[in-house]
Structure 1
Amino acid sequence: MKKQLILVIVLILMIIASLIILMNMLFSDRNVDKTVNKNDLWNYVKKSDSPTFGDTNSKHQVVVFVDFNCPTCRKFYEKEYKNTIQPAIKNKKIAYAEVQHPFINQESKQYATISHYVYQVARQKAYEKYKRLAYHYNTTPKDVLKRLHLDKDKHMEVLDLYNDHKDAGYNLNQDKTFKVTHTPSVYVDGKLLKDYSQLNKYIKK
């Protein structure tokens, strides 16, 4: 009886130890700074025709992987994007790029593809407005496109491109190369920030 009890206790301790190790691995993966080649990252941005803003000759490059269905991305947009990134773009302190990383659900992928073609067809201002509407309205990606009020030809062009290429605008496999495990993933000069609230500190360096 005592031997059986000891075996049960040992088994429980092993399970607890395994869970602790697993949690530490997950925690460290998300909270340890990682670095990738910033030129490779920016080349990926250009190759994928992801939305870019600011002066490419700026001192810093900021690349953010986002999902328009992600609540944390919405918080990032409301605080860090509006208060730190937009002023830095305006003052030519950073070159900024946004890469779609739709991992939450199928609607995330629809947002990624439609926003990609909004940027291709109507460029920066239209993409910015689409992003703002996507974060502020609890609706579908196509309804957000309607709210964008593009002229008829551009609206139809975006829809046609979306219907013909519903998996365009993102590459989750390629994103793994840059160690993207969550959104928003914020890179400054190739460094993945473990705490994006510190973004302003890195930009000021």
Structure 2
Amino acid sequence: MTPAPKLRRRPVLVAASLAAVILGALLGAWTWSSTSNTHEVVALRQTVTRGETITQGDLMTVQVGVDPALRTLPSDRLGSLVGQRAAMDMAAGSLVTAADVTTSVLPGKGWSVVGVALPPSLMPGETLLAGDQVRIVATPGQQGDVGQEPPEAISATVVGLYPNGENGQTVVSVEVPQEQAAELAARAATGKVALVLDSRER
């Protein structure tokens, strides 16, 4: 009786099988780790500008893995954010943190918001941001002469930017003390003002 032939295991196939098993285990561990480290947090469905009231439609929840140092808000806080105001400009898709929202009303007591329409030539080339400290400076206009006295200026804080595609101007909403609001509005109406961006160092 002829003995049954012995099956030879090819080393290459054995190594490939072991590698596949190890790779599968690693992928499983990575999948478990990534899903176990994600959290459901609140994010912006659409852009909200500083001072704007937050609505239900502005918000959504997302599953993300976040750095513990980032103070994101869990999904169960979404309802409490509705009706609060944006403390800064927030872009669509960004995660919401505790510092992004406030219950304060803009403008606050004793303050006013004035819109100043400016062409690009009378604004800094740097992109303005909400919270920037600026000065609105009186200008002599194209036909005027700059006198010996320094031009008058009113200090303000930027709270919003509203570009107008039709005339190329941008309305810069600025917050000023209430007693200076009328003067600034009158100056802005003449069109003879420029905006100066002051230091962002704090």
**Do both proteins adopt the same fold according to a TM-score greater than 0.5, normalized to the shorter chain?**
no
TM-score (norm 2): 0.23
**Quick check: which has more Rg, 1 or 2?**
2
User: Bigger relative contact order, structure 1 or 2, given CA contacts below 8 A and separation 6+?
Assistant: 1
More strand by share: 2
- TM-score w.r.t. length of structure 1: 0.23
